[in-house]
Structures are given as structure tokens and as C-alpha cells.
Homo-oligomer: A and B are copies of this chain.
Amino acid sequence: ELEEEVKDAQNPPIRVGGAVRFQYVYADYDADNRDRAGDLDFDLVRIDFNGEINDVILAAQYRWFQYMEAVQKAYVGYNFTDHWQGQVGIINVPYGNIPYNSHNYFFSSNFYVGLEDNPESGINFQYRSKDWDWDIGFMKGDEQGGVDGFVDSRADRYAYDAVGIRLDGEGIYDAPSLQVAKSNYWAVRGARKFHFADGDKLELGLSTQIGDLHDGNDSVGDREVYGAHARFNSGPWELMGMVSRYDFDTDVANQGIVTGAYAYFDTMPSAATLYTANVAYDLPVNIGPVSALRFYDNFSLMSAKNGLEDDTFMNVLGMAVSAGGLYTYFDIVTAENHPFVGGTMGADGGQTNTRFNINFGYYF
């Protein structure tokens, strides 16, 4: 009888989880924020569905902000063998260091050109073994259904995507008059994982994305991305490095590519090279509810921009504090020509800005 009750009490196979986040911001480039000694703002409520029923996997995440709503993933999966998993739906496009090419709340600059933690609509076959990672993906479009997706705003998305071609005479933050979307592209990632006798681990990998740009009537160009990444773990230390080159080849003259995310349109150069270098150190502690600290420095540089002179960089020096379900990032962000730090990647002439940010996130 008790066994019956235990069975009744079993949690459902799909777990409903989520996150709640808010943050304190002090931005030296924002006079009224300084005048108030910073702001404490609501960030998001998140709902996650994860689990499997009869070997069919579900992974989905919905995010509510006070200015938009977005899906971060929504896919079904199936393990064909112990090594091969297939995924279809709104999946994370496989690229470079995964899940993140960073340790801090702001990610690396890769995120702001769509090359970190970027959901797209497509299919992916992933191979995982002790020594090798392979991802062979084909993306039909972005997470908002591409150029004619039926959505409130094409800027209401979690991760930066190309949503237009920036034409001569338009402003950096204008909504695009020539709308485009990535369409029908391949995304392939391979990585070799080395395991050393002393427990150290090294991963070296290559990634590429090649495919089409579509304006709602026809192809209007294509896009190529190449990346090489490395990750080294030794005890409490983690080192990451990555080099990426992306190139949009548009049929019409462009002043950059229009990006959309977080309810804003912005501009990025139509081609650029990005460098990332990250270091982190983990320290288990026992201070009240605090069980772990992580110290890190994450550096990104964007250079060789098509049509622009000035580089973009971002350095995030920070600490993450783990306490129960609460994971808090303390970040000192120093950046030039960088979104979310008072600048844009799509114009010359920015100045170096500093932002102190504490993001409180409760995850469950």
C-alpha cells in the first residue's frame, strides 16, 4: 500500500523549473543612474520544462521581461544510441565553447553577433563520447520564424540575430527597412577532448556555419562563420580561448547588418573577427549559506570590422557567489563600442565605459 502511495507521489517526468532574477546597476556613462547611486531593477521570470517520457526528451525555456517575452529553447530530442542524440525545434546552434564562451553575466562579445548561446529553428545531430564531440546541424531559420515570422517585434528575442541589412542613411538603432533573416544554413562543430593522467582536461575544436540570407522574397546574400576554440581545465582553474570570423556577403551595398534582441535594433559590421580569452578560478567555501565562489576575468576583442576603423572590446572582471538556489554575479564591465555598456559595435568613435553590475539569479 505504501508502495502504491510512493508511486502516486512520484513527481511527473517533466520537471517544471524556472528562475527569478533582478539586478543592481551602476553605470558611469549614465548621468541620471549615477545621480541615483545606481538602480535596482527587475530582470526576468523564467519557466523551464525539462524531462523525458518514454525516451522522448523535452527541453523548453520561456522568459518574461517587463519589455518583452522570448523563448530560449523549445525542442524535442531522442537518443538514437548511447552516443547520438537528435534534436528538432528551437535548438541551440552548436558553436565554439559550449554551453558558454564566458563565465560572467554578460557573456562574451560573441553573444552580441549571434555566436554564443543562440537559439535557432532547426535540427541537430550530436555525437558525444569521452574523446569527441560532433554536432551536425541544419537551421531552417531563427527562433522567430525568419523574415516573415508572425511575431510582435523581430527585436523581441533572447539572442542577437541578423534581422536586416543596414542601408545608407539609416540610423544605427533604426528598425530595418530592408528586412532579412538567416535561412537554411549548416552548422557543424567538432571537438577533440584530451584527458590527462593528472585529471587535467583539454578540448580543442572547430566550428563553422554556412548558409543563406533571405529577404522574404529571395536570397539576398550569404553568410559564413569560422571558429576555433580551446578549453583547459586543471583543478579549480578553467581557461578558454576562441577566435571567430564571420562574414555577411550581401547582394546590396550595406552599412552593416541590423541585429535585433532585447526589444532593440542595433547594428554590427557585416564582417569581423572576434577574440575571446577567459580565466576562472573556483573556490569552495562554507560561509553561512555560501558554498562556492568563482573568480574570473573574461576578455573579448572584435577587430577587422568591415567598413569601420575602431575595435570593440569588453573586459569583465568578476566574482560569482553560489548560495543555495541563488547564483549572484558581481561584474565590473569595462568596454568600448559595446552593446549593453553604452555603445554599439556598428559605429566608430565610442569611448570606454564602465558598468558595475550585480545580477541576483535564483535558479531551480
Q: Determine the distance from Cα of A118 to Cα of B41 in the docked complex, in whole angstroms.
A: 16
Question: In the bound complex, how far is the Cα of B58 from the Cα of A325, in angstroms?
Answer: 8
Question: Cβ of A349 < 8 Å from any Cβ of B?
Answer: no
Pairwise interchain contact A146-B216, C-beta atoms closer than 8 A: no
A8 at interface by CB-CB < 8 Å: yes
Which residues of chain B are near A171, meaning CB under 8 Å? none
**C-alpha gap A214/B323 in the complex (Å):** 34
Answer whether residue A6 sits at the interface, using C-beta atoms and an 8 A cutoff.
yes
What chain B residues lie within 8 Å of A146 (beta carbons)? Answer: 36, 39, 41
Contact across chains for B10 and A364 when beta carbons are under 8 A apart = no
Interface size class of A (residues with CB under 8 A): 35 or more
**Within 8 Å of chain B (Cβ to Cβ): is A5?**
yes
Query: Of A13-21, A98-106, A195-203, which binds chain B?
Result: A13-21
Q: Which residue, of A24, A42, A55, A143, has the highest number of chain B Cβ atoms within 10 A? A: A42
Number of copies of chain A assembled together: 3
The answer to whether A20 and B217 have CB atoms under 8 Å apart is: no
- Do B183 and A36 touch across chains, with their CB atoms under 8 A apart? yes
User: Can you give 21 A-B contacts (C-beta < 8 A)?
Assistant: A8-B10, A8-B11, A9-B10, A11-B11, A13-B364, A14-B18, A14-B364, A22-B90, A35-B217, A35-B218, A38-B140, A39-B145, A40-B89, A40-B121, A45-B71, A54-B323, A56-B326, A58-B325, A76-B326, A78-B323, A150-B263
Residue of B nearest to A69 (CB): B64
- Cβ contact within 8 Å between A78 and B214: no
Interface check A37, CB cutoff 8 A: yes
- Please name all residues of chain B whose beta carbon is closer than 8 Å to the beta carbon of A234 when the two chains form the complex: none
> Distance in Å from the Cβ of A110 to the closest Cβ of chain B?
23
Q: Considering only CB atoms, which chain B residue lies closest to A262 in the complex? A: B150
Could you tell me the distance in whole angstroms from the C-beta of A92 to the nearest C-beta in chain B? 14
Cα separation A45 to B63 with both chains bound (whole Å): 11
Per-residue interface assignment for chain A, residues 97 to 133, with 1 indicating a CB less than 8 Å from any chain B CB and 0 otherwise: 0000000000000000000000001100000000000
